[in-house]
Structures are given as C-alpha cells and as structure tokens.
A and B are shown apart, each in its own frame.
Chain A
Amino acid sequence: MNVLGLTFEKREQSSRLWQLLMVLLAIIFALVLSGLLIFLSGADVGKAFAGLYGGAFGTRKALIETLVKATPLILTGLAAVIAFRGKVMNIGAEGQFLAGAMAGYWAILTFSWMSPFFYFSMILFFAFIGGAICGLIPGLLKGLLKVDETIVTVMMNYVVEFVLSFLLSGPWQAAGKFYKFSEEIPTSAHYGLVFPNTRLHYGFIVALVTTIIVYWILQKTRLGYEIRSIGLNPAASKFKGINVPRTIITIMLISGGIAGLGGIGEVIGIQHRMRMDISNGAGFTGIIIAMLAGLNPLAVVIVAIFMGGLLNGSNRMQIFSNVPTALVYAMQAIVLLSLLAFQVLAKYRIRRAAGNE
C-alpha cells in the first residue's frame, strides 16, 4: 500500500508539471510534423518557422497584433472551459459567437440614440444574451430531455450561420452592395483602442476581465463549486443535493454568453460591420485552447495568445516562405491530437508502475 501511496503522491505533486510537460511535448511534436509538411511541399522550413515566429512575437507591432488575434480566442476558450468543466460538450461556441454578434449588432442598430455608456452596455448585454439564448436551447434539451448536446450544438452552428446569411442578404445588407456584409457601424459603437495606432481594442481588456470572472466563478462561487462537482462526479453531486439539470442549463447560458461577447468584439473592435466571416473558426479553436489549457481559465489566456501568434505569424510565414497560412489550422489540430495521445501514454506508464503490487 505504501508503494502505491508513493506512486500516487508523486503523480499528484507533479501533475501540474506533468500536464505542462505533455502540452510542451505535444507542441514540439506538432512543430516537427508541420516542419515535415513544409519540407514535403518544397518550401524552406527554416524560413517558414522564422517567419512564423517573427510574425507572431518578433516585433512590438507583431506582438500587439497577436493579442488582437487572441482576443476572440480567449473568450471562446473560456466558453469551452466553463462548459467542459461541467462535462457539458458544448461544440456550439461557433454559433454562439455569431449569435452574440448578431444580437449585439441588432443592439447597435436599435440603441444608437443612447448615451455612450448605456449604448455600449446594451451592445455587450445583448451580445451576451444572444449567445446565451443560442446556448440555452441545447442546454434545455440536455437538462430536461436528456438529449445529448454534442450534435445539437454542432447543428445549431449551421442554423445560426444560415440565419446570419439570410440577414446579411436581406435586411442587414449594406445598401447597393453585392457582398454579404452590413453597413459600417457608427463610430460611437466602436471599441476604443488600448494602444493608439494599433488594432488592439478594448475587447482585449474585456477578454481579460472575463478571464478573471470565469476563474472567479469556478473557484470562488457556489455555482462554480457545483459545476466542478457535477463535472467530476455527477452521481455524488446528485446524492448531495445538487440540481444537476439546472446547473447544466446555467452552464450553457454562461458558456454561450461568453462566446457571444467574443463575437460582438470582432464586430465592434475589428470589422466595424457585420459580416459572414467574423469568426474564422474561433469557436472550434476555443475548444482546442481549452483542452491545451487543461481547462484552466488563466492558462487559457496564455494558450490563446500562443494560438493568436500562430494565426498572426502565419501571414509573415506565407510572405517569407510561400507556405500557405492554412497550415496553422492543421498545426492546431495536430497539437490537440498529440496532446490526447501523450496524456494517455503518460497515464499508462504511471498505472503500470502502480500495478506492480
């Protein structure tokens, strides 16, 4: 028993370290594989990685742009964290992102007569609500009807996308334009800039604040306690009086809302209009980020910045070495897959050692 105890304790003490190690291993493995892909395509691997790094973190300007790219990812990452902590497989952040953007855009159109403070509050409020409602539907289906949320949330992504497409081809379409985007939003609805002459907007601050709030909720509140409890052991939670369905619904509301904030951020911070492509896969990237961050909200910021760096640096990589920017999406997926694999391999070793009783 002592040997067993020792083995387990080791794992517990180094679990943070171990987790980090697995993530690093996964990233290294992904870099190696990507390098291989680049090499196979005939491009210069060195130049590609140099471009990638330089474009991501090389200059102050690059770093700031990386933060810009990271902003929506932090929020979708947080959305995934809150859901996954409760073992709710919310794959619908993509749709909730758009739904929040749409609801926020509607608020932009509707409340433009308000004073700036209230105007902005309305915009953010409705963006949250929009994302939350989008999350509510799968939440209700799971909580009350026990319908699995995985596919429902994915289906919602498409539905929301088509609704947006409909709106941007009709009522919201910029007058006289052929493409699917809206008129520009009034400057009073723009996010202010953190640094002048950059693209870093207050959405980044909102993302950081949301990070603290999500951390707070999970670690410091009764709700977060219950979320963690049902995520780790729904049976015991039920035995001790936690209302599992209600908690699930709450999770989906919050998760959707946070994703919605990410959506509106792109509208009022970057695009300054409503378009089809404001997300760029942010919802799915958020899931990868959450997994890499070990479902830790604070780590989400770091991982999101890393991902933002990948996205940002990919442009320079393409310029320097002709490697298409799309590679970074493949890299993200490879990191996730390798992380899953390495986590299992690590567990397996420890279990083997513990099994020698």
Chain B
Amino acid sequence: MNNIFQLSIIISMLSGMIRIGTPILLAALGELVTERAGILNLGVEGIMLTGAFVGFLVANQTGSIPLALLAAMIAGGVMSLIMAFMAATLKVNQVVTGLALNLLASGITFYWYRVAFTGVSVTPTIEIMKVVKIPFLSNIPVIGEVLFSQHLLTYFTFLMVPAIWYFMNKTKYGLEIRSLGENPRAIDIKGINVTRLQYLATIFGGIMGGLGGAFLTIVSAGIFLPDMSAGRGWLAIVVVISGNWQPFGMVLAAFVFSFFEAFQLQAQSLGVQFPYELLLALPYVIAIIFLVVSRARSEAPAQLGEPYHRE
C-alpha cells in the first residue's frame, strides 16, 4: 500500500484521469449544446459507440487517423440526425428515441464489425495515436506530465471547453440556443427558426459524441469490442447535469468520474487487493447522488425534453 502514494504513481493516476475523462468530456460538451437547445439526447451512449466503431473501421481500412476521426464525427452526426428528426420534426418522446438509438448503435456496430472482419482469425487492431508532448510545458514537474503529455484529442478537448463557453455566451447562435432551451416561444416570436436551430445543436452534439467515441478506439484501446462505450455516454449526460450546464463545471464532474477509473486501473496494475468492481461502480453511484443533490437548484434548460408546439 505504500507504493500507491509514490509521486510517480500519483502522476500516472492523474494522467490517466485526464486521458480517461477526455471522451466523456467531449461527448458531454456536445450534449451540453444539444440540451441547451431543449433536446434531451439520451442516445449519447450509442453515438459514442458508433464513433468508436466507425473510427476504428476507417483507421483499420485506411491507416489514416485523421480520416478515421473525420469519419467518426460524420457517423456521430448521422446518428444524431435521427434524433433531431424524431425530436424536432416529429416531436416524439425524446427519452424513448434516445434509448432506441442506443440499441440501434449497439446492434449495428456489432453487426458491421462482424461483417467487416469475417473470417479474420487475429483480432483486428489499429495503431493508436501517440502522445504528443507540448514543448516546454511538458517539462514542468508533475503538471507537465499530467496535463501536457497527452494526446492531440485531449488538447483539443481542453481548447473546446473555453471555446464552447465562448460560443454559448458570446456569440449570436449561442444566445439563440440558450434562449431556445429556456423559452422557445421567445425566439420563435422573433422569427428564428426553432426547428433548424434544434437540428444544428443536436448534430453538433452528435459530432462531438462521435469524436469522443473515436477516442476510445483510436487513442485508448486500439481494438473494438462490442458495447465498449460501457456507460460513458450516460456518464456524459450526468456530467452535463452535475456541471450545471456550464462547461467549466462539467470539467470537474467529468474528471471526478474518470479519476475513479484511473485509480482503479492503477490499483489493479499494482496488484492491490481491492474490489475494483466496486470502484468501477462508484462513478454511477456518485452520479445518482449528483442527481439527487442537483434536483433543486439545477439550471436545466426549462424546456429540456419538451417538444415545442407553436400553438
């Protein structure tokens, strides 16, 4: 047990926390925009899975990581397009639609994986992205290793946090989206196309979710496993709630969740005898606690999940 408190271990853990939290945070940032527009997209899990698979497939077939990332983003966008159509145009029950999307993704990715790799005896792999150390910054003791020796996608995620904040608070479209989720009538009156805005916000969420999913295969695992998103999409949704729909608050929530997984991985690799499953369950228990605590003061968009009817 002494080992666990050695600095190198802690650094390794924190670094893992950042790495593991990236996909969750990416998807959460996307979901944030979607929810601010009033659409509750519970299909994030499926979108991440789709991104993971498509990214993997394209990387495997073409060897090009940029292409794979792009494909993952498009795939996520397409999945979320279904959500947008069902929620904004047809105005059906968003919760059930999201669930159906998850199941759809689960089935299709597994199916297509099998189809693409029939008869292959060795588990297909791809070359994962390498860590990119930022010059100078990565030499800072502790922080340098934790924050600045990560993958490009992680740096991208870091940048996206303030970028999304800026977009939502300082741009015209951000203002319209924020208004949408709270009171669609207010901007409908002003002649803004509510449906179109909801589509855009949802598709953006899907793109981010797809990208987050791609991280799982292209950066972390290098292989694809069925249902490998393993609840991260749900955690992303909880991250949005716990972060009170604010990008900076969400960062904290995402890393609280990923900390436990990183901790558990570290403990496992050190051979520490601790029921690691219970640690794995912790993020979900904490998520429930967050939900209970934040039910009163939450800044959820007032019309979240409610289809908007003009009458």
Query: Which A residues are closer than 8 A to B by beta carbons?
Result: 37, 41-43, 89, 91, 141, 145-148, 150-152, 154-156, 158-159, 162-163, 165-166, 169-170, 281, 284, 287-288, 291, 322-324, 326-334, 336-337, 340-341, 343-345
Q: A324-B110, A337-B97, A337-B104 are in contact. Are A150 and B42 (CB under 8 A)?
A: yes
Closest to B241 in A: A151
A-B contact pairs, 15 of them (CB 8 A): A151-B237, A151-B241, A151-B287, A158-B234, A159-B285, A163-B281, A166-B278, A284-B103, A326-B107, A330-B106, A330-B111, A331-B107, A337-B97, A340-B86, A343-B92
Judge whether A333 and B100 touch: CB under 8 Å.
yes
Name, among A163, A330, A336, A344, the residue most crowded by chain B CB atoms within 10 Å (CB to CB).
Answer: A330
Closest to A160 in B: B281
Which A residues are in CB contact (< 8 Å) with B189?
A: none
- Residue from A146, A159, A334 in contact with B104 in the complex, judged by beta carbons closer than 8 Å: A334
Closest to A170 in B: B275
How far is the CB of A227 from the nearest CB of chain B, in Å?
19
- Report the bound CA distance from A158 to B235 in whole Å: 11
Which A residues are in CB contact (< 8 Å) with B112?
A: 41
Judge whether B287 and A155 touch: CB under 8 Å.
yes
Known: A162-B280, A329-B110, A332-B103. 20 other contacts (CB 8 A): A89-B95, A147-B292, A151-B241, A155-B238, A159-B281, A159-B285, A162-B277, A165-B277, A323-B115, A324-B115, A328-B107, A329-B106, A329-B107, A330-B107, A330-B108, A334-B104, A337-B86, A341-B92, A343-B92, A345-B90
Judge whether A166 and B104 touch: CB under 8 Å.
no
Closest to B281 in A: A162
Judge whether B101 and A333 touch: CB under 8 Å.
yes
How far is the CB of B56 from the nearest CB of chain A, in Å?
16
Closest to B234 in A: A154
1/0 per residue B234-254: CB within 8 Å of A? Answer: 100110010000000000000
Judge whether A326 and B114 touch: CB under 8 Å.
yes
Q: How large is the interface on B (under 10, 10 to 19, 20 to 34, 35 or more residues)?
A: 35 or more
Task: For chain B, residues 208 to 231, give those with C-beta under 8 angstroms from any C-beta of chain A.
Answer: 226, 231
Judge whether B93 and A340 touch: CB under 8 Å.
yes
How far is the CB of B242 from the nearest CB of chain A, in Å?
11
Which B residues are in CB contact (< 8 Å) with A324?
A: 110-111, 114-115
1/0 per residue B12-47: CB within 8 Å of A? Answer: 000000000000000000000000000000100000
B129 at the interface (CB under 8 A from A): no
B91 at the interface (CB under 8 A from A): yes
- Report the bound CA distance from A163 to B97 in whole Å: 29
- Report the bound CA distance from A37 to B108 in whole Å: 9
Which B residues are in CB contact (< 8 Å) with A89?
A: 95
Name, among B86, B90, B107, B275, the residue most crowded by chain A CB atoms within 10 Å (CB to CB).
Answer: B107
Name, among B101, B231, B284, the residue most crowded by chain A CB atoms within 10 Å (CB to CB).
Answer: B284
Which B residues are in CB contact (< 8 Å) with A341?
A: 86, 90, 92
Closest to A41 in B: B115
Judge whether B291 and A158 touch: CB under 8 Å.
no
B130 at the interface (CB under 8 A from A): no
Judge whether B103 and A329 touch: CB under 8 Å.
yes
Task: For chain B, residues 250 to 267, give those with C-beta under 8 angstroms from any C-beta of chain A.
Answer: none
B140 at the interface (CB under 8 A from A): no
How far is the CB of A83 from the nearest CB of chain B, in Å?
12
- Residue from A42, A156, A336 in contact with B288 in the complex, judged by beta carbons closer than 8 Å: A156
- Residue from A91, A152, A284, A340 in contact with B90 in the complex, judged by beta carbons closer than 8 Å: A340
B81 at the interface (CB under 8 A from A): no
- Residue from B86, B113, B231, B237 in contact with A158 in the complex, judged by beta carbons closer than 8 Å: B231
Closest to B98 in A: A150
- Residue from B91, B104, B291 in contact with A152 in the complex, judged by beta carbons closer than 8 Å: B291
Which B residues are in CB contact (< 8 Å) with A158?
A: 231, 234, 281, 284
